[in-house]
Amino acid sequence: MPSGESISLVKQLRRIPLSSLRVFEVAGRTGSFAAAAREVDLSPSAVSHAIRKLEDAAGMLLFTRTTRSLVLTPEGRLLLEHVQRGFEEMQRGFQRALPDTHVLPLRLHTAPSIASQWLMPRLPGFMAAHPGIALRLSADTRYATFDDDHDIDIVYGVPDASRHEVIPLVVEQLTPLCSPAIAARILQVQDLYTQPLLQSAGQSVRWGGWFSANGLATPGDFALAFDRSSMSIAAAVDGLGVALESTLLAERELAAGTLMAPLMGRSTSVRYVGHHLVHPRALDPHGAAALFKRWLLAELAASCAAPQA
């Protein structure tokens, strides 16, 4: 059973008006009582009073105030995160409940390189086909937890075992990619020893695996190393060397002719499932995440069916 102290705190917090939390969210986000006053159409003194009332009710200091600055305390930063999440949830609830609106929120998380290299060029088509979806896209190397932050995730590599649905996406092909000028100097695999090689440090399969698959020794050093495939691809386009990258991620550059695959058909490419789609098992079949899932799988199938450069 909850303690008397926790019950007392709940009763105390129930007396906090929603408007005070709104003032706190704006003040915490802007870092200024004056800016908050302008946004919520109150006077700075009224904003300060609302924050004081909230601090008294919560029993904690939310801001450190000086004559020149307003800084959230650690407790204030933690509370702001949850308050913002609560307002976002309420907004999504109203969007879905109002009969005259058909906006479906979609919180998409993805690995960075597939987001910038493959997904972003296709998003206009998705948004045109689904104008009623409000998309929020974030990209980093962490995995989504689906605890009120994301609906669906495209991850690089094999995700950890979990209770969520995990769908292997397409088989990707890793092959040396370079600018046309460098490609003219690469007629056989051994020619790579005379060229600067670009290493993608975050990649599951690197140059060592590719040279081993082709029965050759791996060079001792590399010209440059990057922690993103998108950076390695960009460096190869700029003529900095030869990148070992996925033809799926470099699809746009290969189609434009800014990158070439000089050893395609003359060497053994490494094939592997580079990305997985992850989402909670209970997925609303009519929701935005399900619509995105169907669109994504169809786009990837079409992408793999297209001839490679």
pTM exceeding 0.75: no
Name which CATH class applies to 103-169+274-305.
alpha beta
Same fold, 103-169+274-305 and 171-271: yes
pLDDT at 69: 78
pLDDT at 1: 47
CA 247 to chain centre: 21
| 185 pLDDT tier (thresholds 50, 70, 90) | very high
- Whether 114 and 249 have beta carbons less than 8 Å apart is answered as yes
Report the CATH architecture of 4-96. Answer: Orthogonal Bundle (1.10)
CA distances from 182 to 185, 261, 302 (A): 5, 10, 30
pLDDT of 2 above 60: no
pLDDT at 214: 94
pLDDT of 273 above 60: yes
Q: Is the dihedral of CA 274, 278, 283, 289 positive or negative?
A: negative
Across 107-131, average pLDDT: 93
Q: How far apart are CA 26 and CA 48, in angstroms?
A: 12
pLDDT at 186: 95
pLDDT at 70: 86
| 4 pLDDT tier (thresholds 50, 70, 90) | low
pLDDT at 247: 94
**What does the pLDDT look like over 39-91, one tens digit per residue?**
888 898 899 999 998 888 888 899 998 877 789 999 999 999 888 888 877 77
Name which CATH class applies to 171-271.
alpha beta
Cβ contacts of 121-126, under 8 Å, gap ≥ 24: 121/252, 122/299, 126/292, 126/295
φ and ψ at 200, to 5 degrees? -100, 105
pLDDT of 226 above 70: yes
- Per domain, the residue ranges of the chain are 4-96, 103-169+274-305, 171-271
Nearest to 27 by CA among 12, 11, 44, 15: 44
Nearest to 64 by CA among 77, 45, 53: 77
Q: How far apart are CA 76 and CA 67, in angstroms?
A: 19
pLDDT at 119: 95
pLDDT at 204: 81
pLDDT at 3: 54
Q: Which residue is associated with the tokens 């990305």?
A: 275
Nearest to 220 by CA among 197, 186, 243: 197
Q: How far apart are CA 27 and CA 71, in angstroms?
A: 10
Mean pLDDT (the chain) is 87
Q: How far apart are CA 231 and CA 236, in angstroms?
A: 9
pLDDT at 216: 93
pLDDT at 285: 81
Nearest to 63 by CA among 30, 14, 88, 38: 30
| 144 pLDDT tier (thresholds 50, 70, 90) | confident
